[in-house]
Amino acid sequence: MTGAERTVVVHPSKQSLSDAAAARFVASVLDAQAARGVAEVALTGGSMGSAIFASLLQTPGRSAVDWSQVYVWWGDERYLPAGDPERNDTQNDDAGLTRLGLDGGTVFRVRGPDASESAEASAAAYGTTIREFGRGEFDVVLLGVGPDGHVASLFPHHPAQRIADEVAVAVHDSPKPPPDRVSLTFDCLNRTREVWFLVAGADKADAVAAALAPGADRWDVPASGVRGSVATRWLLDQDAAANIG
């Protein structure tokens, strides 16, 4: 990767990481709207994916954002019915997404088995929606990282990683439950201005170090395979940063 910035910011606690990411998110959305009218963001599940919404609700600058001009996507979704408490979007909603003042028409959710015949059909439909409504690049993609180095629902040594030239892919036999998921592909995730990894906890320290190591291979450490065209930001707490060389 040339020309793009890669930064690592270490925060003293998960709470300060979440608060700082929320403040940074508000600033980035404002910048994107000033430059391009609509801000396009992709969200993540997991604990950090939800923590940022609790922080956002406390971030004073959020009132400056025109939330009706924010397009919301997800990097991945668990293939479960709408409203299922295990879905990433449901968890984001419950954490505060629904209280930000978004326009429901610009929140683009992945179809579950209640609204699609299969994860493959859901992935195809999501890809079509992104091509139809998206600008062709995200402004900000938020990503958690699993202890195994997975990102979105792209897992180490999983064949779904290999899907190229598609926007989204069906994932089966996920090592993290539930087994069926829909994920954006590397190709799609990499069409992003700023990629932010939000990672907290000692159980992530090895995965973070492996992803940041020179020559890291995304087949082994998927998190090493997503980068922003403008910046890639690793936003960590001290525990997650403990093993960086």
Q: Is 222 in the site for ligand 6PG (CB under 6 A)?
A: no
Q: Is residue 139 helix, strand or coil?
A: strand
Q: Is 146 in the site for ligand 6PG (CB under 6 A)?
A: yes
Tell me whether residue 68 or residue 219 sits nearer to ligand 6PG (CB atom).
Answer: 219
Tell me whether residue 65 or residue 149 sits nearer to ligand 6PG (CB atom).
Answer: 149
Alpha-carbon Rg for the chain in angstroms: 16
Q: Which of 18, 44, 55, 92 binds ligand 6PG (CB under 6 A)?
A: 44
Tell me whether residue 65 or residue 205 sits nearer to ligand 6PG (CB atom).
Answer: 205
Q: Is 78 in the site for ligand 6PG (CB under 6 A)?
A: yes
Q: Which of 16, 47, 129, 238 binds ligand 6PG (CB under 6 A)?
A: 47
Nearest to 189 by CA among 157, 244, 159, 144: 144
Amino acid at 221: V
Tell me whether residue 38 or residue 244 sits nearer to ligand 6PG (CB atom).
Answer: 244
Residue 142 Cβ, how far from ligand 6PG at the closest point, in Å? 9
Tell me the longest C-alpha to C-alpha distance in the chain.
46
Report cis status (omega within 30 of 0) of the bond before 12: no
Q: Is 112 in the site for ligand 6PG (CB under 6 A)?
A: no
Q: Is 218 in the site for ligand 6PG (CB under 6 A)?
A: no
Q: Which of 36, 172, 176, 227 binds ligand 6PG (CB under 6 A)?
A: 176
Q: Is 156 in the site for ligand 6PG (CB under 6 A)?
A: no
User: In whole angstroms, what is the distance from residue 175 CA to residue 183 CA?
Assistant: 14
Tell me whether residue 70 or residue 189 sits nearer to ligand 6PG (CB atom).
Answer: 189
Tell me whether residue 150 or residue 193 sits nearer to ligand 6PG (CB atom).
Answer: 150
Size of the site for ligand 6PG (CB under 6 A): 16
In the β-sheet with 192-199, what is the strand arrangement from edge to edge? Answer: 5-11, 231-237, 192-199, 138-143, 39-43, 70-74
Q: Which of 14, 18, 28, 46 binds ligand 6PG (CB under 6 A)?
A: 46
| CB neighbourhood size of 175 (10 A) | 12
Give the up-direction half-sphere exposure of residue 167: CA atoms within 13 A in the CB hemisphere: 21
Q: Is residue 167 helix, strand or coil?
A: coil
User: In whole angstroms, what is the distance from residue 150 CA to residue 102 CA?
Assistant: 29
CA angle, 196 as apex, 165 and 14 as ends, to 5°?
140
Interface contacts to ligand 6PG, rule CB under 6 A: 44-49, 76, 78, 88, 144-146, 150, 152-153, 176
